[in-house]
Amino acid sequence: MAETNTATTVEFELVSPQKLVVSEPVEMVVVPGAEGDIGVLPGHSPLIATVRPGVIDIHEAGKVKERIFVGGGFAEVSPERCTVLAEEATAVGDIDRAAAETRLSDAKQVLEGADEGATAEAERQIAIAEGLLAAANGASAGN
């Protein structure tokens, strides 16, 4: 760890409340930050950011190696490490479109019937479901 400046990889960790999803050294990872995507390479300045529902891309040898959907959360970046605390995480290939659509319509229903306090939560759920669908569409378009 002493030669972090010359390292070509950054320790990437993706954690959900249920488990440690990914923990491996990667060349570059692109995190969907709340205010724009953040590309993390080794030696990145320390950063703490909120993460919007979206897809994390893990790059290797200039190509996207793995795509994982996260339902919002937080990212902490240091020169040698990138930790993402995600509320939920699913590999893009495993997204169940039907389930995502049901979730979206459920959330919309909740929003209609929601009182003041619950609106934010319902909107958050909608954002997650929409993100899931977009990720699923992107995956099928890419293939």
Partner 1 sequence: MANLKDLKIRIDSVKSTQKITSAMKMVAAAKLRRAQESVEAARPYAVRMERMLGSLAQSVGGTEGAPKLLAGTGNDQTHLLVAFTADRGLCGGFNGSIVRQTRTMANELKAAGKTVKIFCVGRKGHDVLKREFADEIIEEIQGLGRRSVEYHEAAGVAQSITKLFEDEAFDICTIIFNRFQSAMTQIVTPLQLIPFEPAVSDEAEEETADEGPKAVYIFEPEEDEILAELLPRNLAVQIFQALLESSASEHGARMTAMDSATRNAGDMINDLTLTYNRTRQAFITKELIEIISGAEAL
- CB contact at 8 A, 77 and 38: yes
Region of residue 131 (left: phi > 0; alpha: psi -120 to 50; beta: else): alpha
Q: Which is nearer to partner 1, 51 or 95 (CB)?
A: 51
Distance CA 136, CA 95 (A): 6
Q: Is the dihedral of CA 3, 6, 9, 10 positive or negative?
A: positive
Shortest reach from residue 122's CB to partner 1, in Å: 14
Q: Which is nearer to partner 1, 22 or 138 (CB)?
A: 22
Q: Which is nearer to partner 1, 15 or 134 (CB)?
A: 15
Distance CA 80, CA 9 (A): 8
Shortest reach from residue 35's CB to partner 1, in Å: 5
Shortest reach from residue 47's CB to partner 1, in Å: 5
Q: Which is nearer to partner 1, 74 or 101 (CB)?
A: 74
Binding footprint of partner 1 on the chain (CB under 8 A): 13, 15-20, 33-35, 38, 45-50, 74, 76, 78, 83, 85
The first and second tokens of residue 12, run together, are 């990437």
Shortest reach from residue 133's CB to partner 1, in Å: 21
